[in-house]
Amino acid sequence: MKSDIHEYAIGIFDSGIGGLTVLRAVKKLLPLEHIMYLGDTARVPYGTRSAQTVLKYSIANTDFLLKQNIKLLIIACNTASAIATRALRERYSLPIVEVITPGARGAVAATRNARVGVIGTEATINSGAYQAAIHKLNPRIEVFARPCPLFVPLAEEGWYDPADEIVRLTAQRYLNELKENAIDTLVLGCTHYPLLKGAIQQIIGERVTLIDSAEETAHVVVRVLTDKDLLIKKSGGGACSFFVTDIPHRFTETGKLFLGKEIETVQLVDIL
């Protein structure tokens, strides 16, 4: 066991592979940090489950990561962030970064006409977490929220090319209403949606600014680690360890789309 907390890893959990978009953004800003990533692939998707179930899973994920010597936890999953952040912060003493507030902050900074769209899973949208986070920052902003559940399996399948007819038609079906709402900013409130950025931008229009929660979150992680004096002190590249709760080979195959590079080793773990 390492004794110096600076050497401890950043823990990230997601319901599956989608959180790799957050890992990628964090790694870009903090290449020296070690990262422990847990994808709960046995129980994905979280976005269609009840709040009680998502909370139970989130606690199990955090307990597992805490055993891996982590100094900060990132809840990369928007659904888990929307539902479980408060309970996890009450339960654990380590710093916890979620993805909703950073995305909301990005949207509030970007909008010029005070009309913001938010897309996410059903659980995220129904929780009202993005709406509340945006209104806390600026109550005058009108928020138009829309669940887009089919974007998750499309991204998992590797179907995100804007030229693909299925992708285009799905995006059209979900986004046309938001287009009519004359939004000028759209929050991609789900780990999987950055993969569909091209298609979403094409349908919603070039004038709408897309907010990627992953990038915004990575900046928060840098700030928290700096403020708490927890940044790793040595030089050299940090290692990434990947854990999943089911079917590691699927994680390796699809994961490279999310991460932008090959994943060499994935460990199967039982966290129940």
* 102 is an interface residue for ligand DGL by CB under 6 A: no
CA 102 to chain centre: 11
Q: Among all residues, whose Cβ is closest to ligand DGL?
A: 47
Cβ at position 248, least distance to ligand DGL in Å: 18
Contact predicate 101/223, CB 8 Å: no
Active site annotation includes 240: no
Q: Which of 170, 192, 216, 258 binds ligand DGL (CB under 6 A)?
A: 192
Specify the DSSP class assigned to residue 252.
Answer: H
Q: Among the options 17, 25, 44, 77, which is catalytic?
A: 77
Contact predicate 196/164, CB 8 Å: no
Dist CA 113 CA 45 (whole Å): 34
Site for ligand DGL in 34-53 (CB under 6 A): 44-47
For ligand DGL, the closer of residues 8 and 174 by Cβ is 174
242: nearest Cα among 225, 218, 258 = 258
**271 phi, psi to nearest 5 deg:** -110, 5
Active site annotation includes 148: no
Q: Among the options 23, 125, 188, 190, which is catalytic?
A: 190
* 171 is an interface residue for ligand DGL by CB under 6 A: no
Dist CA 48 CA 70 (whole Å): 29
Cβ at position 195, least distance to ligand DGL in Å: 11
Catalytic residues: 77, 190
For ligand DGL, the binding residues (CB under 6 A) are 14-15, 18, 44-47, 77-79, 120-121, 124, 152, 190-192
